[in-house]
Structure 1
């Protein structure tokens, strides 16, 4: 009897943690757009001609920042990330998708 109870308790926790993991990773929101922001010596934001500022991935944006730092030593470069809006009421949406 004790072995059966142990199996039920273990199964319950495995299923509960599995559902929690699925719910937390299913709706992870990745950034859509990475941008480079250029600052001058005085800390003011400026626009430079010939500098590409919009990118799809973070690695490419970081690579361009390191290249621009070599080319334009008197300017500072920073990366800005645009994150899409997070949808609310995620738990009801999860259960609606599961029921379909």
Structure 2
């Protein structure tokens, strides 16, 4: 499964369908699947997390991977110490 690592400041790019699906793995163990339309102007992961009221600081460990195939466009880990690759492998929506 091809992935592309990104940073919290990376500009998110719209997919062909117009909607974007992002699976969030939060520090408290919660998982959130969010579907949204990226604006035509620039948008970063930080912007999306703020809009979804996901708490984080400059010191919060945030990992993001773009999924180049499959149902989910982005996998994001917020505040977790486990590597995002390990979280994705164990998740039923990774394909």
Q: TM-score range by the shorter chain?
A: under 0.3
Q: Normalised by the size of structure 2, how large is the TM-score?
A: 0.26
Higher Cα radius of gyration: 1
The structure with the greater share of residues assigned to helix is: 1
Greater relative contact order (Cα 8 A, min sep 6): structure 1 or 2? 2
The structure with the greater share of residues assigned to strand is: 2
